[in-house]
Amino acid sequence: MGRMLKNKPSSTSLGHGFTIVEMLIIAPIVILTIGAFVTVIVNMTGDVLATRSSNVLAYSIQDALNRIEDDVKLSTTFLEANNVSLAGSHQGFDDNVANFANVDNGTNGNMLILNTLATTGNPLSPTSGLIYLTGQPNACGATQNQNTPMTMNVIYFVKNNTLWRRTIMPSNYAAGLTVSCNIPWQQPSCAPGVTDSFCKTQDVRLVDNLKPSDFVVQYFNTADATAANSAAVDPTSASNRHVALQSTQTASATINTSKTVAGRQISQAGTMRATRLDINSSTIADIVVATTPATPTVTASFSVPNTANFTWPAVPGATSYTVNYNIAGGTYVNGSTGSVATSFSMTAANNQSVCATVYAVNSAGTSAASGPTCMTIPLWNGLVYQNNWSDYGNGYATGAYTMTSSGVVVIKGLTKRAGTPSSGEAIAILPVGYRPSEALMFGTSTGASGGDTTARIDINTNGAITYATGSGNWLSLEKIMFIPSATSYAWSALTPFNGWVNFNSGFASAGYTRDSAGHVFIKGLVANGTTTDGTPIVTVPSGYSTDSYLHIASTSNNTFDDVGVDTSGNIVAKGNALNSYKSLQISYLPPGYATWYPLTLQSGWLPRAGFAVPSYAKTADGIVTVRGLIDSGNATAGLTITNLPPGYRPKETHIFEEACVNAYCRMDVYPDGRIVAGGGVSTSWSSLDSISFMAEQ
């Protein structure tokens, strides 16, 4: 037991700790150690933050300089101020309409103002193309790359200690084809927080912590120049800067910035130097701002049929054109508004004048009116001959067609053919608008080997003037007048009687109408009726008859025929025994539609009592009509029967088929007014009722 007690541990060896004295010695050491460690950590963190901030700042500057370099290389001109109007937008330096200036005015700092080209896509993409302005000078299409390109402004400026990039677009940049051939990829930008429907995106924020003086821009005349152009940054004269900048090719931009990070002052700087896109394109910048366009220079020309064409060179800056016109001296009416075309066409009746005034239009306003520029539609259009047919010449009428102011187609001419004609072949082709709605059949004169005689000509719906019978020696196209299908005149049907019926087979059915000048037109091919002289075939209503009995040449069964028109409105047969078919294609003047003047007969000719007195008239559409039945004169071919006065004469000699004792005869009308007897004229009686033509002198 005593041994056990001896081996029991002492109370002083149960645990070992620090005494107060020891703690007082150790604590300061620990605190100093921790403080040193914290200091090291803080210093290390500050270095990291400063280094990181310095790197970010360097990256921001380099990114900004890269952007500036790209924009300079794509620019066409360095500007002393923005040349895109800011009116009505919030794109100005003050976020309203204050213009930018490239020099420091004491508060705003230096600015880099670029004129650059709008593009269809990202300008750095190889598939992107330029945007061309409409009508400067060409319309959009294959030749649009000859037009002026659309330009815009890109501006670098310092505001609120930040370097910004702003895109300024023309107010009509998105107007489409009225302004440009495409809508630009670029969009107008405004400061963050600015509300304006015109602004489609925000300015690009490039570098912070800049004073206005930290952004320095210089300009050089050439890419390798070492001395900057001081006039380009002359603060005393905007005009001096403008002139100087037009000759500079290269710009440099320097960015300096500094800030405090973790108690450390960090600074970064960088410089960019680049040459603009095209040293010859400085004038492009001056075209962006729209001004009222110049007055178009208009010329007039004619094209068949009956078309007045007005053309003008594209007016620089014009986006569209307005055309007003009048016909025959009437009131001007609008023909075109908002068109980009540099031409305008208008049809009118032959011998009518057409005048046009043209205005050039753009966003800045409308030019003064051109002209007016006027032209008169020629009275005649030449026939387009077919199958070896041609003009006979020798003073006789040339083959031509016209449309009167009342909408009537009139054909003239003496033709001949090389070789023997075939029945059904086309002599000439009338254009669309001068064609009948049904086939029409006319009788006329031709030069057969035994002397002149009757012939037949058809006018088909395809415009073909078709030879049916006659001779190729010569063939007259006179006496052919008809209402074309393209007309507002309404036809009324006539009911044939006394055994007569409509022939049909593509030919016109019997009908009647009256044109605005007063001429009554009868049409139709009938068959199978009674041919006894005086037998009515059809009857027109009151107001469509005549005041004197008429004998008008026609055709029947490929031979001569004539019809009578009496004062009761009956269209009557004249005793011709042939009735397989009979043409009613005639025209005449009813009472009250013209003033008739008496003719003085010569060569012993006398008026035949009871019939139309020999006389002449001219209607408002210029058609001269002759009528009358004569007898007892000298029927020798070549002798003058009577004379027409000036104003009632043709320009060339016309040959007409007439009715003489219900048989074929010929009468010629000369430019000097003489009506001369031809073959078949009879002293028993001869009619003048088939003579009608356009007055030309």
CA atoms within 13 A on the CB side of 260: 2
**pLDDT higher at 43 or 269:** 269
Tell me what the mean pLDDT of segment 5-20 comes to. 52
**How many whole angstroms from its chain centre is CA 651?**
37
Q: Distance (Å, rounded) from C-alpha 315 to C-alpha 479?
A: 49
**Is the pLDDT at 14 greater than 70, yes or no?**
no
**Is the pLDDT at 671 greater than 90, yes or no?**
yes
Tell me what the mean pLDDT of segment 306-334 comes to. 92
Tell me what the mean pLDDT of segment 469-489 comes to. 94
Q: Distance (Å, rounded) from C-alpha 348 to C-alpha 536?
A: 39
Q: Distance (Å, rounded) from C-alpha 280 to C-alpha 117?
A: 14
pLDDT band at 137 (very low <50, low <70, confident <90, very high): confident
How confident is the prediction for the chain on average, in pLDDT?
A: 90
What is the CATH code for 492-588? 2.60.40
At 574, phi and psi to the nearest 5? -120, 25
Tell me which residue of 671, 668, 675, 682 sits closest to 608, measured CA to CA.
682
Tokens describing residue 20 = 């107060």
Q: Can you tell me whether residue 400 is helix, strand or coil? A: strand
CA 445 vs CA 77, 116, 413, 473, 621: distances in Å: 78, 76, 11, 11, 26
Sign of torsion over alpha carbons 422, 427, 430, 435: negative
pLDDT at 281 (0 to 100)? 53
For the stretch 498-546, pLDDT in tens is 999 999 999 999 999 999 999 999 999 999 999 999 999 999 999 999 9
**Is the pLDDT at 585 greater than 80, yes or no?**
yes
Length of the chain: 697
pLDDT at 11 (0 to 100)? 43
pLDDT at 181 (0 to 100)? 87
pLDDT at 48 (0 to 100)? 64
User: What are the residue ranges spanned by the domains of the chain?
Assistant: 54-287, 299-376, 381-482, 492-588, 597-694
**Is the pLDDT at 56 greater than 90, yes or no?**
no
Q: Distance (Å, rounded) from C-alpha 612 to C-alpha 494?
A: 25
- Cβ(120)–Cβ(128) under 8 Å? yes
How crowded is residue 39: how many other Cβ atoms within 10 Å of its Cβ? 10
**Is the pLDDT at 12 greater than 50, yes or no?**
no
pLDDT band at 40 (very low <50, low <70, confident <90, very high): low
pLDDT at 310 (0 to 100)? 97
Which of the listed CATH numbers 3.40.1080.10, 3.40.50.150, 1.10.8.100, 2.60.40.10 matches domain 299-376?
2.60.40.10
pLDDT at 39 (0 to 100)? 59
Lowest mean pLDDT segment, chosen from 260-264, 597-601, 656-660? 260-264
**Is the pLDDT at 80 greater than 90, yes or no?**
yes
Q: Distance (Å, rounded) from C-alpha 582 to C-alpha 531?
A: 10
For the stretch 326-346, pLDDT in tens is 999 999 999 999 898 999 999
Lowest mean pLDDT segment, chosen from 121-135, 208-222, 412-426? 121-135
Q: Could you confirm whether domain 381-482 is CATH 2.40.360?
A: no
**Is the pLDDT at 36 greater than 80, yes or no?**
no
Which of the listed CATH numbers 2.60.40.1830, 3.30.70.260, 3.30.70.270, 4.10.80.40 matches domain 597-694?
2.60.40.1830
**Is the pLDDT at 280 greater than 70, yes or no?**
no
pLDDT band at 673 (very low <50, low <70, confident <90, very high): very high
Tell me which residue of 625, 443, 139, 603 sits closest to 614, measured CA to CA.
625
pLDDT at 50 (0 to 100)? 64
CA 94 vs CA 90, 191, 194, 563: distances in Å: 8, 10, 11, 92
pLDDT at 3 (0 to 100)? 43
Lowest mean pLDDT segment, chosen from 58-72, 84-98, 295-309? 84-98
Amino acid at 284: I
- Cβ(346)–Cβ(311) under 8 Å? no
In this structure, the strands spanning 201-202 and 189-190 are parallel
Long-range contacts of 608-612 (CB under 8 A, 24+ apart): 608/685, 610/549, 611/548, 611/549, 611/551, 612/546, 612/548, 612/549, 612/550, 612/689
pLDDT at 263 (0 to 100)? 75
- Shared fold status for 492-588 and 597-694: yes
Percent of the chain predicted with pLDDT > 90: 70
